[in-house]
Structure 1
């Protein structure tokens, strides 16, 4: 399988010459097509900065980021807008749904922005809604549904355009344990059945245990990585806890 994402020698600096902070320090890694990968690290480790650079929200100081064989660090603003619409799907911790639109309309919005043909919109929405188990809430507004349902609507909005790479930033951070488990099971299904490529940032070991590979970031550098292989999810969870303990994760990383 080909690389969907290739991060090559990237560095990110903030500040000026008198007060310079190196948020990312020479990070290199790849994510293959159909892979479910995670990024973990203590607060201030650089994991969010890394995701922001990959998602084109922020830019790198040096190095390059290849997504589907295109160097996004060289794209101009208008080119980036088109690239995001066609290649990336975003899932945020706080859902980012529009309160004045129904679930159906929130999902449709990403297709409209992309310029999808009108005759294809309904079929695409209902197909992904069935897959994520939200068919019965398509006509409801965000205030009428639970947090877990909101995140599944947000997930539907992210994948309905069939992006090359789905970027999830703390997707279970606002969910209770039952809703989080259900969402993660849906992620697994998307990855396994639809070959969706997912890169997820999380501080939570339980959430991370659903991924197939975890990259650990410490002090802006790639510290180590774990591959799940033939481990059960529980076995992988325990290995993740061992690394978190080693690098000094946040107090709630083990829960």
Structure 2
């Protein structure tokens, strides 16, 4: 079966001839449909640059990235917007909700932009709201919601269009521990019940322990990879900490 995401020999350079920085160094990996992948690494390791290239926010210097068989590195700017709308869902650390719209309207906007039929929008919103347990905040504005509620609304907005790949950038970074746990449990539920494919960048070992596979990035390359398998989340968390210690420096550099 063709993977949802295929990253092939990707490199990314910044700067000019007098000062060049290689942010990504010959990275390659695949993500199958229904996987929940975590990407970890210290600040400056290249993980955010990698996410930006996969999300089409940035372009690669060399190599190719395929999403659902489409080589996004060859897409021209006029086609990228349509590709993002149809194939990608985004969850940001700072929620990125529109303050003048209710939760319902924020989620509906994603469907409207995609061109979904009006008679389907209400059904889709209510279905995803029920799964993320945000039905009771659909008529509230962002300022009336907790951080955890806002992030679950943002997650609903990302998943409601049924994208091929959901990209989450430090999704628990602005949340307290309880809200973070509820959000991550929601991710697990979306992954399990809807077969949502999630690629999540995080500094946090607790957050990463909810994923099924972790890629560790160091100096722009994949340093290690671990798979949760039959491990409990607690055992997987401890394994993550072990690998983090091998990355060098203090654990706090990554966590």
Q: Which TM bucket (shorter chain)?
A: over 0.9
| Cα pair 1:39 1:215 within 8 Å, conserved | yes
Partners of 1:240 and 1:32 in 2: how far apart? 22
Q: Report the Cα offset of residue 78 of structure 1.
A: 1.5
Structure 2: stretches of 5+ with no match in the other structure = none
Partners of 2:116 and 2:101 in 1: how far apart? 19
1:107 equivalenced with 2:107 (yes/no): yes
1:218 equivalenced with 2:218 (yes/no): yes
1:54 equivalenced with 2:54 (yes/no): yes
Please give the per-residue CA displacement for 1:182-209, whole angstroms capped at 9, x wherever unaligned.
Answer: 0000100111111110000000000000
Partners of 1:193 and 1:105 in 2: how far apart? 24
Partners of 1:27 and 1:254 in 2: how far apart? 20
1:67 equivalenced with 2:54 (yes/no): no
| Cα pair 1:42 1:250 within 8 Å, conserved | no
Structure 1: stretches of 5+ with no match in the other structure = none
Report the aligned-residue RMSD: 1.1
Match of 2:4, SS state, is: strand
| Cα pair 2:41 2:254 within 8 Å, conserved | no
Please give the per-residue CA displacement for 1:125-149, whole angstroms capped at 9, x wherever unaligned.
Answer: 0110011000010000000000000
Q: Report the Cα offset of residue 2 of structure 1.
A: 3.2
1:158 equivalenced with 2:188 (yes/no): no
**Equivalent residue runs for 1:1-255 within 5 Å:** 1-248=1-248, 251-252=251-252
Partners of 1:172 and 1:216 in 2: how far apart? 18
| Cα pair 1:97 1:154 within 8 Å, conserved | yes
| Cα pair 2:42 2:254 within 8 Å, conserved | no
- Following TM superposition, the consecutive aligned residue runs of length 4 or more in structure 1 with deviations greater than 4 angstroms are none
Partners of 1:192 and 1:104 in 2: how far apart? 24
> TM-score under structure 1 normalisation?
0.98
Partners of 1:192 and 1:50 in 2: how far apart? 25
Partners of 1:227 and 1:122 in 2: how far apart? 38
